[in-house]
Structure 1
Amino acid sequence: MLGIVIPAHNEEQLIRECLSAVRTASQHPALMGEPVETIVTLDDCTDATGILASCCGAATVAIRARNVGMARAVGATALLARGARWLAFTDADTLVSEDWLAAQLSLQTDVVCGTVSVLDWSPHGRHAALLQTHFQETYFDRESHRHIHGANLGVSAAAYLRVGGFRHLACSEDVSLVNALVGAGCSVAWSSLPRVVTSARTDARARGGFAGALLNAVAQRLAESTGCAMRPAIAAGA
């Protein structure tokens, strides 16, 4: 069985689209009908995320930690207990491609680190064009990249268990896991084949995560172009 883990904190606006894309990916012909189970870890959700996830056919487990590392770990543990041989991780604000899961498995490796793309930069308002330019100039969406994203990550059950899984970190849990896997001698594919589209939202769910990195990029580019630091209002997504 193949397992997909999605951590979520109050994602009622996005979870249905996310799970629809995941469901399509789980039915790809290249998977040869192998069962795929998806679990959404509801981390301190106070909205309808859990109800909507269940209506979409995903299993759910609830925690109250506001900790993405723990959320991914709890979901992974549940799927391993059900017999998952491969764990694929994405995020609730992300849409995976139709062949996302098949592409991960086709690489025949212990670990797959994929890239991300962003189609809609509008959440950043008047800074959208600046941020898009920065991303295009500094992000390497190609084979042999060295990006690590929890929104596009796959690992074999054996390798995951070998290093003890995700640490309960509030951010950079994905980097910590991959570093541990590399240190343990696991084979890693740094590939752009598994495709996902993630959001450029300004309300970061995990401080220090992708949304936070985008805001820091805006601050950096504005500082470079104006010679002064970005005002707090802009840093907050104004």
Structure 2
Amino acid sequence: MIGVIVPAHNEQALLADCLVALAEASQRPELEGEAVRIVVVLDDCKDGSGDIAHAHGVETLTVKARNVGIARALGADHLLAAGARWLAFTDADSRVSPGWLAAQLALDADAVCGSIAVDDWSDHPHSVRDYFRKTYKDADGHRHVHGANLGVSADAYRRAGGFPPLACSEDVALVDRLIAIGARIAWSAAPRVITSARAAARARGGFGDTLVSLAAG
């Protein structure tokens, strides 16, 4: 079984699109009928995120941590206990491509760090969009780490000790742990994810917050 974890904090505006995309990625013929279980970890949600998740038929877990590292780890532990052999992570403000899961598995690695793309820059001045396009490497061999586009085998995740309880950069910390145990990491642009560049960022120091800082600078 393949497990997919989506942390969410008040994401009712974007969660439905995320789950529609994940449902499509879960039904690709390349997966050869293997079960895919999607879990949305509702982290101190006070909006309709839970109702949206239930309407799309996915499992939910609830926590009041306001901490994405704790949320991701909770979802991972739940799916590992259910027998997942592979864990894939994305964010509630992101839309994976139809071939996202298949592309991760096809790389035959212990972990996959994928790149991201943005299709709506309306919250930012042109200078931020232009800077991102000039400096961001969206190609194989990149060294980006995004919780919105990350996959890891169950074995490697366990050996690395999982996500630390960090409110930001928990994805980078996990990858550092994977590197430390000698995991085979694919730095690939093959698994495609479109993510939000919204100015109202959920995590200080995360992707959205970094873009806001660029605009301010």
TM class by shorter-chain length? over 0.9
Correspondence for 1:95: 95
Aligned pairs (5 A) from 1:100-179: 100-124=100-124, 127=125, 129-179=126-176
Correspondence for 1:18: 18
Correspondence for 1:35: 35
Correspondence for 2:204: 207
TM-score after normalising by structure 2: 0.99
> Aligned partners of 1:204, 1:162: CA distance in 2, in Å?
32
SS class of match (2:123): helix
Q: What is the aligned-residue RMSD (CA, Å)?
A: 0.6
Find out whether 1:189 has 2:186 as its counterpart. Answer: yes
> Aligned partners of 1:54, 1:15: CA distance in 2, in Å?
11
Larger radius of gyration: 1
* CA deviation profile, 1:155-174 (whole Å, cap 9, x unmatched): 00000000110000000000
| Structure 1 gap ranges (5+) | 221-238
CA apart distance, 1:74: 0.3
State the AA in 2 paired with 1:71. Answer: A
Task: Tell me the percent identity.
Answer: 57
TM-score after normalising by structure 1: 0.90
Find out whether 1:217 has 2:214 as its counterpart. Answer: yes
| Structure 2 gap ranges (5+) | none
> Aligned partners of 2:215, 2:199: CA distance in 1, in Å?
11
SS class of match (1:38): strand
> Aligned partners of 1:24, 1:114: CA distance in 2, in Å?
18
* CA deviation profile, 1:146-189 (whole Å, cap 9, x unmatched): 00000000000000000110000000000000000011100000
SS class of match (1:7): strand
* CA deviation profile, 1:5-43 (whole Å, cap 9, x unmatched): 000000111111100000000001100000000000000
SS class of match (2:3): strand
* CA deviation profile, 1:44-100 (whole Å, cap 9, x unmatched): 000110111011011000000100000000000010011000000000000000000
The count of corresponding residues between Structure 1 and Structure 2 is 217
Aligned pairs (5 A) from 1:224-235: none
> Aligned partners of 1:214, 1:180: CA distance in 2, in Å?
26
> Aligned partners of 2:182, 2:176: CA distance in 1, in Å?
10
SS class of match (1:168): coil
> Aligned partners of 1:162, 1:5: CA distance in 2, in Å?
19
Correspondence for 1:75: 75
CA apart distance, 1:219: 2.8
